[in-house]
Amino acid sequence: MRYSKFFLPTTKETPAEAEVISHQLLLRAGCIRKLTSGLYTYLPLGLMALQKVAAIVREEMNRAEAQELLMPMVQPADLWQESGRWKKYGPELLRFKDRHGRDYCLGPTHEEVITDIARRELQSYRQLPVNLYQIQTKFRDEIRPRFGLMRGREFVMKDAYSFDVDDEGASKSYEIMKNSYQRIFQRCGLSFRAVEADTGSIGGSYSHEFMVLADTGEDTLVICNDCDYAANVEKAAVVLPESGEKPGDPAPLHRVETPGMKKVDRVAEFLGVTPVDIIKTMVFLADGEPVAALVRGDRQVQEVKLKNLLGVSEVEPIADDEVWKLAKLPVGYMGPVEISIRLVADQEVMCMRNAVAGANEKGMHLTGVNPGRDFSPEQVGDLRQITPEDGCPVCGGKLSLTEGIEVGHIFKLGTNYSEALHATYQNKNGVDKPFVMGCYGIGVSRVVAAAIEQNHDANGIIFPLPLAPFQVLVLNLGLKNETISAAAEQLYSELRALGVEVLLDDRDERPGSKFKDADLIGIPYRATVGKTYEKEGMVELRLRVSGETVLLPFTEAADKIAAMIHEELRQLQDVKR
């Protein structure tokens, strides 16, 4: 491709609307343009990167013997009513009526449609297992679309669905997909981790997220330094150290005045204790009902864990100024003793002795609070966010936290959908059994954004080679110099003849502007043909990722560059994680 003819509108200014770096750089590098909130056009450069991801995903899915199909984007309501999600899904499911007044939605995911296909086309255990996938545009009506391709409304997704005869088969299908995902993200040239994850609104019993590691990630991961364990903090189980007796004897309950002391730290200081001695009471709305959750004073409530313990579909914190209105409790002085609303507690709280807690009266706290004697939560469980000080739940080893961007999510669904839709096969004995299902998603467009979040510098994008729209950018720095121009054209032709994907910058622009655009659009290899060629017959090859520069004799340049690219891609294909 010739840059002079390529539709690649780069910009110098950082767009005000873009909060995250991938969004900024995708706009500046002419990869995407906003149509309206959460809707983006992929310009040619951005689409090329997207197609690179899609091609890798397709190859690896086919290698794993999944079969590609393509389901409609527009889905009839009746299937969603059968599964029960027409009511449950919430406003992210965009619903509308057709010209005949029938209800439809734009597919955010396709469990219903694929289960409908399975129940009609798969009759016998002999036809199983089957894994069917598609690469398709999805729509979720996000309340606040943001971050460009990271959280858009329309996005490209690969979604696969496996059908097995039993749980053992489903586990096998799950493992095949887990390995396939490892290969996919490996081949994309990304640094990533598979982590145990919450199953969320899809449902199911077991799931892993694939996280691209990046400081700017929305998710926090906990990784064990000593074993393979890795999990989303939403999911990471806290294991309490085994303890014998509680220390000391229970003291009597005392009311103490703590005027203006609303924060844990101030209460602790005022009463001469530490946050470890305080029971923190937080109020949430769980499916619209207020619930009080207890954690130790130095801990944070993990809302996803709370949601799962309560068995509700949505948990949200209540703003301070709403607490009184909704729960009739005084913010800063709430506590578990004689509390008027539903009460749940983190497991750790139940081991505390002679704790401090709010007295549910403004300016008052209680000391000598003892679980069991003074209050009994309706439910007790693992409610708090894990910390690096906690031990690994598997091996007890040292944990560390890191940030990540979710790009893939695989689920063991079990029989949730097949039972709801009466999707069955006949087993060997002629008995109808529900399919045991799994589902497996990759945010294809999100991978592009995540790759940039992980790989960029102050000057622009640094595309990993396997996702790069072009592998090599040839700069012609002597457009009016016949010798230089002829050499640049020759290098361009030679590389293309070797199967290399090349962009030739043949624009009538100053070298400085060409270098700036080169850095911005992030093509991995930059080959400059300029004065050094004219004087010494050398091409300057620069690696975008390291800034490393080597001089190559012109006659060898194409072969050497092609060999380097070939070797880099081979290594990503070969190494197995």
Residues that bind its own copies (CB under 8 A): 5-7, 9, 33, 35-36, 39-44, 47, 50, 65, 67-76, 91-92, 94-99, 106, 113, 116-117, 120-121, 130, 132, 136-137, 139, 141, 143, 153-154
Torsion of CA 95, 96, 102, 105, to 10 degrees: -40
**What is the nearest approach in angstroms of its own copies to the Cβ of residue 125?**
14
CB closer to its own copies out of 334 and 447: 447
8 Å CB contact between 277 and 268: yes
When the beta carbons of 113 and 562 are compared against its own copies, the nearer one is 113
Minimal distance, residue 146 CB to its own copies, in Å: 14
Residue with tokens 């005045």: 257
CB of 85 to its own copies, least distance (A): 16
Tokens of 279: 């029971």
Q: Are 503 and 6 in contact (CB under 8 A)?
A: yes
Give the residue from 225, 219, 223 showing the smallest Cα distance to 409. 219
Which of 340, 331, 335, 342 lies closest to 370, judged by CA? Answer: 335
Tell me which DSSP letter residue 398 carries. B
Q: Looking at beta carbons only, is 92 or 457 nearer to its own copies?
A: 92
**Parallel, antiparallel, or unpaired for β 67-68 and 130-139?**
parallel
Residue type, 440: Y
Smallest separation (angstroms) from its own copies to the CB of 151: 15
Residue 99 CB, shortest distance to its own copies, in Å, is 4
Q: Which is nearer to its own copies, 95 or 398 (CB)?
A: 95
**Least distance from its own copies to the Cβ atom of residue 358, Å:** 37
Name which of 156 and 310 has its Cβ closer to its own copies. Answer: 156
Of 153 and 384, nearer to its own copies (C-beta) is 153
As measured in angstroms, the least distance from the Cβ of 482 to its own copies is: 23
Alpha carbons 287 and 86: distance in angstroms, whole number: 17
Q: Shortest Cβ distance from residue 430 to its own copies (Å)?
A: 19
Give the containing element (helix H, strand E) for 424: strand 424-426
CB of 565 to its own copies, least distance (A): 21
User: Phi-psi category of 205—alpha, beta or left, where left has phi over 0 and alpha has psi -120 to 50?
Assistant: alpha
Distance CA 251, CA 374 (A): 11
H helix runs in 272-341, sequence order: 303-310, 320-327
Query: Cβ of residue 138: shortest distance to its own copies, in angstroms?
Result: 10
Nearer to its own copies, 12 or 99 (CB): 99
Q: Mark out the alpha helices in 349-438 (DSSP H runs).
A: 416-420
Pick between residue 140 and residue 280 the one whose CB is nearest to its own copies: 140
β strands within 225-309, DSSP E? 230-232, 254-257, 279-286, 289-296
Give the C-alpha separation, 152 to 447, whole Å: 13
What is the 8-class DSSP label of residue 52? H
Question: Are 322 and 288 contacting, i.e. CB atoms less than 8 angstroms apart?
Answer: no
* Min CB(145)–its own copies separation in Å: 10
Nearer to its own copies, 117 or 341 (CB): 117
CA dist 281 → 270, 307, 354, 357 (Å): 18, 16, 16, 8
Nearer to its own copies among residue 124 and residue 573 (C-beta) = 124
Min separation Cβ 17 and its own copies, Å? 14
18 vs 106, beta carbon nearer its own copies:
106
**SS3 assignment, position 485:** helix
**Closer to its own copies at the Cβ: 106 or 561?**
106
Helix (H, G, I), strand (E, B) or coil at 534: helix
Residues 483-516 as b or e (16 or more Cβ within 10 Å = b): ebbebbbebbebbbeeebbbbbbbbebeeeebbb
- Please give the Cα distance from 42 to 50 (Å, whole number): 9
- Name the CA dihedral angle for 99, 100, 102, 105, rounded to a multiple of 10 degrees: -20
